[in-house]
A and B are shown apart, each in its own frame.
Chain A
Amino acid sequence: MRSIKGVSEIIAVILMILIVTTIGFGVFLYSLGYFSNITSAYMESSKVDSDAVRENFVITDVLFTVSAGNTNVRVAIYNYGQTNLRIAALYINGTALGSLVESSIPPYGSGFVTGVLDREISAGEPQLVRVVSKLGNYFENYYFLG
């Protein structure tokens, strides 16, 4: 009886060590993966936030050309930020323009964004033009036809 009791104690200890080690290692690996994912997501989010902070642009000119029921819009943009500027959308009075032709504008460079509004705008009526970047920044102001 004594020798059987001794063997089962050793086995129990070994089993306990194995179970604890396995669970502990599992927890460690899970934590490693979790923190790794969290960190990479955080770094990505932080980079986007940093780029968004460093992104600055201004509209330098807006040209409206009315033709056949449509209004072609050409917006000149100057990028005075520290990152490449990519335009995501162009709005006239809250309406997103179709056929948006965008380009990447380097820091301290300028470029044009063109789009088509599916109606004619009238002279003398102020148009609220909003340019939205891929990083979520926007610049808006009122412009006239002509």
Chain B
Amino acid sequence: MSTGSTRKKGVSTVVGMTIFVLIFALVASYSFVWTSELNKYVENVRVDMREEQLRAHEVLVVTPINETAISVQNPTSEVVVVTQIWSGHDLLWTGQRGVPPFSSVTFPSFDRSKTDGSFRVVTLRGNIFSGSYADMMERIQKRTWTVSWYWNTTSQENEGIPPTQLNQSTLIGTSYFYDLRIDWEWTDDAAVISNYYYNSTNVIGFIARAVLVKTTDATQDATIRFLIDGNSLVNFQINGSYPAWVGESFNDKWIDSTKDVYIVIPGDKYSVHEVTVFFKTVGYEGPVYLRLNIANAAFYP
């Protein structure tokens, strides 16, 4: 009996062991496959995170040069690849062009009929950067004095003509004063004095406009004071009307350098006022200047 029992125990152990080993081997081999798949997934996540990190570091400054060309500047230390350029709903350009670190690349001459002055640049990593020519011009014009220059002959431009009619003279061009406190001057030997606009038979002048915001409350007025040379004349408008001068009333008359007057601009804090400066001078010897001091106001942002 004992011999038979021992033989049976041995058989079942071998069979049981074989089955166990087979199943264990099966589980072990599949676990390798599972681990491998998990590793692949983790690797893909790592790659994606790295890509996202690079993507997050991408910066491009899109500056329209005009309505059909843009400059793309890369202020980062990594190359950024541009792959698409859109304007409005039109795809203007597609391809791949790298913008080197701390450099800029120009994309010139898009089809004028497809551009609307605003541009969107798509990078290879999926970022979108934009820039607008209209916004840029608006930004330039904000926080500045927009200055239109005019000239006329003295026979047509006499002192009896009100300041607002200066713009009926011939327009020379437009420029900007970037400082709220105008300190403009033509010296005796300024180049413009020698050209034909500026001589004893011509009048030259400008109209400067800016939008200002009052920085003090209603108890304290904003003020505008000026200094001009002896050959020049000036006047102002606030919100399209001649202002209340302190010291004298002028309305639509030109004011010369002998007047010791200034303007007050009443209003609540942060009230917005459009200020227009009219200035003209007749070509004589000596420096021409306008010095303007504005207190309790700033450029409208």
A56 to B15, Cβ gap below 8 A?
no
B11 to A17, Cβ gap below 8 A?
yes
Is B16 an interface residue when CB atoms closer than 8 A count as contact? Answer: yes
B37 to A16, Cβ gap below 8 A?
no
Is A32 an interface residue when CB atoms closer than 8 A count as contact? Answer: yes
Chain A residue with minimal CB distance to B52? A56
Could you tell me the dominant secondary structure of chain A's interface residues? helix
Could you tell me the dominant secondary structure of chain B's interface residues? helix
How many positions in chain A have a CB within 8 Å of any CB in the partner chain? 34
Is B23 an interface residue when CB atoms closer than 8 A count as contact? Answer: yes
Is B214 an interface residue when CB atoms closer than 8 A count as contact? Answer: no
B126 to A110, Cβ gap below 8 A?
no
Residues of B close to A43: CB separation below 8 A: 33, 37
Residues of B close to A54: CB separation below 8 A: 44, 47-48
B126 to A28, Cβ gap below 8 A?
no
Q: How far is the CB of B148 from chain A (nearest CB, A)?
A: 32
Contact partner of A20 (CB less than 8 A), chosen from B15, B26, B94, is: B15
Check A80/B19 contact, CB under 8 A, given A32-B26, A53-B41, A61-B86: no
B26 to A57, Cβ gap below 8 A?
no
Residue with the highest number of chain B CB atoms closer than 10 Å, among A53, A54, A56, A58: A53
A78 to B41, Cβ gap below 8 A?
no
B15 to A31, Cβ gap below 8 A?
no
Is A118 an interface residue when CB atoms closer than 8 A count as contact? Answer: no
> In the assembly, what is the distance between CA of A9 and CA of B16, in Å?
20
B16 to A24, Cβ gap below 8 A?
yes
B23 to A27, Cβ gap below 8 A?
yes
Is A13 an interface residue when CB atoms closer than 8 A count as contact? Answer: yes
Is B45 an interface residue when CB atoms closer than 8 A count as contact? Answer: yes
A residues lining the B interface (CB < 8 Å): 9, 13, 16-17, 20-21, 24-25, 27-28, 31-32, 35, 38-39, 42-43, 46, 49-50, 53-54, 56-58, 60-61, 63, 74, 76, 78, 80, 108, 110
Between-chain CB contacts (< 8 Å), 23 pairs: A9-B4, A13-B8, A17-B11, A17-B12, A20-B15, A24-B16, A28-B19, A31-B23, A35-B27, A35-B30, A39-B30, A42-B34, A49-B41, A50-B40, A50-B41, A53-B45, A53-B48, A54-B48, A58-B128, A60-B120, A61-B86, A78-B122, A80-B125
